[in-house]
Amino acid sequence: MNSTFKIYNATEVWQIETSLPSIPSFSQSLDKVLGNDGVQLGSIVELLGLPGTGKTQLCLQLCTSIQIPKVLGGLYSEALYVDTNTNFTISRFKEILFSSLSKCQQLMEASILINEEDALRKLHYVNAIGLEKFCAFMHQLPNLINTRPNIKLIVIDSIAFPFKDGITLKQRTGLLYRLMADLNKLAVEKQIAIVITNEMTTRIGLSSGAIVGALGDAWSHRCNKRLLLSAPDPLANVRLAVLLKSNNSPETVGKFQITQEGIRDID
């Protein structure tokens, strides 16, 4: 037998899976929907939804949550934000970051000073607008992670935008499958959580159209979990999170809200 392959028994697989920590969303309801108390390291989670449903807001919250001190059970790690559509705003990130860190300081028994400038340095941002620039960066991503081993969260916001123009369906499918294979390997080997946002599109049927996730049915099977966000009552600031697909959690629905401080439970 080839010595490069290691055979695990079921107990060992269970121990590995349950030992991986998760990144909380600051909403217990949303964490229950995600399973594993949030976004687990070593997994790829896709966030689906129309504009205004909270995809980018949730990504910013996770980039903050990754910095929770270890004394509170957090990872005290760093995040990488790959922006393909200028969704990221530093002012909003700072607002969520400082509010979340302030909450952490209140919870800590000992007074531990959290330096805001150091906290900002724990987020790495890349502007990857355009297919060529995006693919070039993704090719360099494994080397970047090797030089920054404390990065435990990668956000790609959004995956569909670079593939909108100037590419055939066959080329898009090939690039996406290669990209996902590389991301899956990176997530598992480096124990990194990868969160990808995706857009909604209209699929024309025989009698009517349906709103579905972009990039087709084959793409929908590439992530470990698929979370659909919606805003049934935007004026009441209520968001719904529906778990459409998961490799270790049942399909379920939860509610949360987007506040000035970030993602929170509904009071």
pLDDT tens-digit profile of 244-264? Answer: 888 877 888 999 999 999 999
119-128, 179-188, 203-212, 243-252: which has the minimum mean pLDDT?
A: 203-212
118: Cβ–Cβ under 8 A, 6 or more apart, which residues?
Answer: none
pLDDT band at 100 (very low <50, low <70, confident <90, very high): confident
Question: Does residue 199 have a pLDDT over 60?
Answer: yes
* Ranges of each domain in the chain: 41-198
Distance in angstroms (rounded) separating the CA atoms of residues 174 and 19: 34
Q: Is 73 helix (H, G, I), strand (E, B) or coil?
A: coil
How many Cβ atoms are within 10 Å of 254's Cβ, its own excluded? 21
pLDDT given at position 1:
46
Fold of 41-198: Rossmann fold (3.40.50)
DSSP state letters, 106-170? HH-SS-----HHHHHHTEEEEE--SHHHHHHHHHHHHHHHHH-TTEEEEEEE-SSGGGSSS--HH
More confident residue, 163 or 44: 44
pLDDT tens-digit profile of 67-97? Answer: 988 888 889 999 999 999 989 999 999 999 9
pLDDT given at position 197:
94
